[in-house]
Amino acid sequence: MKAIHSARTGGGASSNSHGARKAASSSPLSYAATAATKKATAAAMAATSASGGAGENGTAGRKGSSRQASPPLMPLTSLVGARIRITLTSGGDIEGLVYTYDVYSGVVALVSSLTSDDLPDLQNAAGSSPSVGGGRQRAQIHLVKAANIKAVEVLATKADVANGAKEDAFAMPEVRVVDTSVVEARKQRALIQAQERAQRIGVGVSDKAQTIFEALSRTLPCRWSRDSIIVLDEVSIEPPYSVDSCRELQPASFSLQRVKKVLQGELSRMDRVAASA
């Protein structure tokens, strides 16, 4: 008898959760009670699972635990392209065109035209005054979590916006085709820059040798040749990277004395830094 009574109690909880979902779906554009409804539905389903555990061989419990409470579905996906006004739970309204709605993250993107009232805020943020009217029309994008929405008012349907009503003069931004050649050129430039940075790093050299290379490369073009530093393609600095380690790669080169002078100055500076530390 206790098991039968528990099963009946579980059925009542299931009926309550069904009523909660039905009540939520009857007012699809009301977001004020979304969080409360989700909590109530989860609590009802938890009660169903708990009471179902007293059923014969736990069959009712397994049935109750397999059911999951789903949040109320908000019809924001059907409003893409429409102009709406959103009332936030924290107060304030946001008006614009529904650009998209991500059902997984619960974020809606609204696009609205830039007005003169928005100029001071944007000027303080960007340090410049964007133009309004004439030339390219500027827009601002609002990303709003559905959980923070209290109510939604449809000001113009997607058809009204497409027909170009006066109050909907701001059109949806055009999604342009990506020029793959530009992307490929940017990738090639990035690869070349990465290779140049990699060539500036010596392989199997000491930290002192790398420091000397970085110091010399600030004023003279340098590259690595195994563990030797090649400067101006005319002078080689070999370990231990002292002034006496400099040698000419080409006869009658006038760069040897210049490289020795710069290297001596960098070594002296490194010694002073090490002494002060």
pLDDT tens sequence for the chain (277 residues):
444 444 444 444 444 444 444 444 444 444 444 545 655 665 666 665 555 444 444 444 444 433 333 344 347 888 888 889 999 999 889 998 898 899 889 899 998 877 655 545 545 544 443 443 444 567 788 999 988 999 999 888 888 877 765 555 555 566 678 899 999 999 999 999 999 888 899 999 999 999 999 999 999 999 999 999 999 999 999 999 999 999 999 887 788 999 999 999 999 999 999 898 7
Q: Tokens 């805020």 — which residue?
A: 121
pLDDT value at position 270? 92
Q: What is the pLDDT of residue 53?
A: 45
User: How far, in Å, CA of 250 to CA of 236, rounded?
Assistant: 10
**pLDDT given for residue 1 in this prediction:** 41
Nearest to 229 by CA among 216, 218, 219: 216
Calpha distance 59→49 (Å, rounded): 11
Q: Specify the pLDDT at position 248.
A: 92
CA–CA dist 16, 275 (Å, integer) = 79
Q: What is the pLDDT of residue 191?
A: 96
Query: pLDDT tens, 49-65?
Result: 555 444 444 444 444 43
The DSSP output letter for 206 is -
Helix (H, G, I), strand (E, B) or coil at 237: strand
Report helix, strand or coil for 137: coil
pLDDT at 103: 87
Residues 6 or more apart from 156 whose CB is under 8 A from it?
82, 83, 165, 167, 168
Which pLDDT value is given to residue 137? Answer: 60
The pLDDT value recorded for residue 57 is: 44
83: three-class secondary structure by DSSP: strand
- Write down the pLDDT at residue 235: 94
Give the separation between CA 11 and CA 48, rounded to whole angstroms: 7
How far from 29 is each of 39, 148, 230, 242, CA to CA, in Å?
19, 13, 71, 77
